[in-house]
A and B are shown apart, each in its own frame.
Chain A
Amino acid sequence: MHSWPLQARASLVSMLILVVLGLAWHIGVNTGGGTGQANIDPEYAKLIGAAANTGKSAMPGPLDVLAKIGQHLKEPFYDRGPNDKGIGIQLAYSIGRVLLGYGIAVLVAIPLGFLIGMSPLMNRALDPFIQIMKPVSPLAWMPLALYTIKDSAISSIFVIFICSLWPMLVNTAFGVSSVRKEWLNVARTLEVGSVRRAFTVILPAAAPTILTGMRISIGIAWLVIVAAEMLVGGTGIGYFVWNEWNNLSITNVITSIIVIGLVGMILDQMLARVAKLVTYPE
C-alpha cells in the first residue's frame, strides 16, 4: 500500500467515499417513508402523484439519477418547445452567456486595471467606486438592467459582465502596481518605450495575478448565471433547474447540480492551465 504513489491512494479513497455516500443515499431513500399512505394528506398525495400511491419517497435514489444522466447523455440537444429542451441546449445557452459577459468584462477590466495600476492618481480616485460596487450582489443590478436594456437575455449577460468585472479589475490593478521596481528600472536603463515596456515587462510580471483574478471571476460568473436565469427564465441551466423543480422532477434537479458542478470545474481548470503557462518561478 505504502509503495503506491500518493495520487493513486488519494484516488482510491475518493472512490471509497463516493461508494459509501452512494450506498447511504440509496439505503436512505429506499427505507424511509415505507409506512404506507395513511400518514399522507390526500391533497398532498394528489400533488405528488404516483409516489403517494406507492408510499415511495419523491426523492430519487442514485440509480434513478444515473439513469437520468444516461438518458440526457443519449439525447442532450433535443428541442420540444420552450419548456422541454435537452440539458445540452440549456447548458449551451448558459455557457454562451457567461463567455459573452465574461469576455466583455476581460476587455474592459484588463486595460482599465492597467491604467489604474500604472497611475497612483487614478488608483486613488477610482478606489471608492470600486470599493462600493464590488460587494454589491450582481443580481441587484438585474431590475436596473431589465428596465434600461428591456431584454432579459442581454440583461443576464450584463449581470455576468458586472460580476466578472471587479475581481479582474482589482487584481489587474494590483498586479500592475506591484511590478518590481528593479524590473521597471531595467526597462528604463534600456530606454524601452512605454508600449514595449507594458507588453514585455509589466504584462508578463503581472500575468499570474491577472490570471488569479480571471479565475475568481469565471467562478463567480458561473455561480451567478444560475441565479440570473432562474430570475429571468426562458432558457439556460438556471431556468432548467427551476422548471424541473416546478415539474417536481428532483431527479433532474440533482442531475443539474452535478452538471453545473462539472462545467464550473472545467471552466476553472481551463484558466488554471493558462495560469500555469504564465507563472514564473523566482
Chain B
Amino acid sequence: MQEMANSPRYISIEGIARHFDAPGGGRTTVFEDVWFPVARGEFVCMIGHSGCGKTTVLNILAGLDLPDGGVAVVDGEAIEGPSLNRAVIFQSHALLPWRSVLGNVAYAVSSKWRDWSRAKIEEHAKKFIALVGLAGSELKKPAQLSGGMKQRVGIARALSIEPKILLMDEPFSALDALTRGNLQDEVRRICLATNQTVFMITHDVDEAIYLADKIVLMTNGPHAMVAEIVANPLPKDRQRHEVHKHPHYYALRNHLIDFLVTRSKTFKDEIPADYDRRKPPVVSPVAQPLPVPPPATKRAAA
C-alpha cells in the first residue's frame, strides 16, 4: 500500500495477534485482529486493564516482540526488529547502573552516530540532559538519583537519538504524584515543540486526558480488541492544572472511566452491528448542552 508522508497512518497496526503458551497446555490469545492508526506528530495513549496486552503491543512497535499474526507498519515499512528510529522509555527506566548519567545518554548517542567523535557525542548528550533539567548531574550514577531523575535520564536517552517515534510504557507509574505531574508537563512541552509522534501505554485516565490527542481503548484480555478510539476534545494548548475546568473534561473523563469500569468487560458481548475491527469507531465525548427549558414557560417569562 502506498502511503503519503503526511498520511494519518504513519504508524499502522494491521490485524496483529499474539498468543502465549498457557500454563497446563494450550494457548492463550492475548489479543487478535487489532487495528489502529497513528498519524505523524500525534500523541496516542493506549488504555486498558492489566492482561489486555498493552505492553505487548508496545513491544511489537518497539520490535522487541513479534506478532503471531498481522503486521505493524511504520512509515510504509513492516517492523521486523528494533530500530534506532523508534526509541523506548521503559517503565523501570532501565538505566545501566555502572554508567553515569552522561554515560547512559552518550551510550545511546554513540549507538546512533557511530562515527562521531567522543567530544561531539558528549556535547550532543549534554544538550538532552539539559533539556530534561538535569544539567549539573552528568557525572552522577543512577543509584545517586531519585526515581523522577532516573526517569528523566531515560527520557533524555530516548530523545537524544532523535527518534521518529517515541514509545513509552507507563513511564510515570512508579513516581509520586508531584514528580509525575512535572514530568508530564515536560514531556508534553518537548513533544509539542518537536512535533514528536508518541505512543504511550498508561492506565492513568488523567494522564491520558492531559497528554493524548487520541486514546485507544482496549477491552479486557484474553481475546482483547480495540473497542474504540477517543479523540480528545480538549484544546491542544491545555494546561495541566486547568484541564478539569474545561466543559468537555468530565464528559471525556466519565466516558473513559465508564469504559474501564464496565464496557471493557461487556464490549465483547454487545458489539455494535456497524463495528468494524479494521476501523474502530472514533468518538469524541463532549459536554451535553444544558436542557432547554420548555418554550411556553420561556415565552411567559419574557
Q: Which residues does A use to contact B, with CB under 8 Å?
A: 180, 182-183, 185-186, 188-192, 200-201, 204-205, 278, 280-282
Q: Do most interface residues of chain B lie in helix, strand or loop, or is the interface mixed? A: loop
B62: which A residues are within 8 A, CB to CB? 189
Q: How far is the CB of A93 from chain B (nearest CB, A)?
A: 38
Known: A185-B64, A281-B141. A190 touches B98 (CB 8 A): no
| A185-B64, A185-B88, A205-B98 known, 8 other contacts, Cβ within 8 Å | A182-B94, A188-B63, A188-B64, A188-B82, A189-B87, A190-B82, A281-B143, A282-B142
Bound-state CA distance A180–B86 (Å) is 21
| 8 Å CB contact of A185 from B86, B94, B143 | B94
Could you tell me if A186 and B94 are in contact, using CB atoms closer than 8 angstroms? yes
Q: How far is the CB of A191 from chain B (nearest CB, A)?
A: 5
Chain B: CB-nearest residue to A186: B94
Q: Is B97 an interface residue (CB 8 A)?
A: yes
Bound-state CA distance A204–B82 (Å) is 23
Known: A182-B90, A281-B141. A191 touches B98 (CB 8 A): no
Bound-state CA distance A188–B62 (Å) is 10
Size of interface on B: residues with Cβ below 8 Å to A? 24
Could you tell me if A190 and B161 are in contact, using CB atoms closer than 8 angstroms? yes
Could you tell me if A200 and B107 are in contact, using CB atoms closer than 8 angstroms? yes
Could you tell me if B84 and A190 are in contact, using CB atoms closer than 8 angstroms? yes
Could you tell me if B96 and A186 are in contact, using CB atoms closer than 8 angstroms? yes
Q: How far is the CB of A279 from chain B (nearest CB, A)?
A: 9
Interface centre among B87, B90, B94 (most CB of A within 10 A): B94
B108: which A residues are within 8 A, CB to CB? 190
Known: A189-B63, A190-B112, A200-B107. A280 touches B97 (CB 8 A): yes
Could you tell me if A282 and B92 are in contact, using CB atoms closer than 8 angstroms? no
Bound-state CA distance A201–B94 (Å) is 12
Could you tell me if B96 and A189 are in contact, using CB atoms closer than 8 angstroms? no
B228-266 CB contacts (< 8 Å) to partner A: none
Bound-state CA distance A32–B174 (Å) is 71
Interface string of B148-192 (1 = CB under 8 A from A): 000000000000010000000000000000000000000000000
Q: Is B7 an interface residue (CB 8 A)?
A: no
A183: which B residues are within 8 A, CB to CB? 94, 96
Q: Which residues does B use to contact A, with CB under 8 Å?
A: 62-64, 81-84, 86-88, 90, 92, 94, 96-98, 107-108, 111-112, 141-143, 161
B96: which A residues are within 8 A, CB to CB? 183, 186, 201, 204-205
Q: How far is the CB of B118 from chain A (nearest CB, A)?
A: 15
B98: which A residues are within 8 A, CB to CB? 204-205, 278, 280
Bound-state CA distance A183–B143 (Å) is 15
Q: How far is the CB of A277 from chain B (nearest CB, A)?
A: 10
Bound-state CA distance A282–B142 (Å) is 7
Could you tell me if A189 and B86 are in contact, using CB atoms closer than 8 angstroms? yes
A-B contact pairs, 5 of them (CB 8 A): A180-B94, A183-B94, A188-B81, A189-B87, A190-B112
Known: A190-B84, A190-B111. A281 touches B97 (CB 8 A): yes
Chain B: CB-nearest residue to A208: B98
Closest 5 CB pairs of A and B: A190-B111, A182-B94, A281-B143, A280-B98, A280-B97
A190: which B residues are within 8 A, CB to CB? 82, 84, 107-108, 111-112, 161
Bound-state CA distance A200–B62 (Å) is 21
Bound-state CA distance A239–B161 (Å) is 63
Q: How far is the CB of A37 from chain B (nearest CB, A)?
A: 70
Bound-state CA distance A182–B83 (Å) is 16
Q: How far is the CB of B63 from chain A (nearest CB, A)?
A: 7
Q: How far is the CB of A114 from chain B (nearest CB, A)?
A: 18
Bound-state CA distance A20–B161 (Å) is 67
A191: which B residues are within 8 A, CB to CB? 82-84, 111
Bound-state CA distance A193–B63 (Å) is 15
A182: which B residues are within 8 A, CB to CB? 90, 92, 94
Bound-state CA distance A190–B108 (Å) is 6
Bound-state CA distance A282–B98 (Å) is 9
Chain A: CB-nearest residue to B84: A191
Q: How far is the CB of A259 from chain B (nearest CB, A)?
A: 37
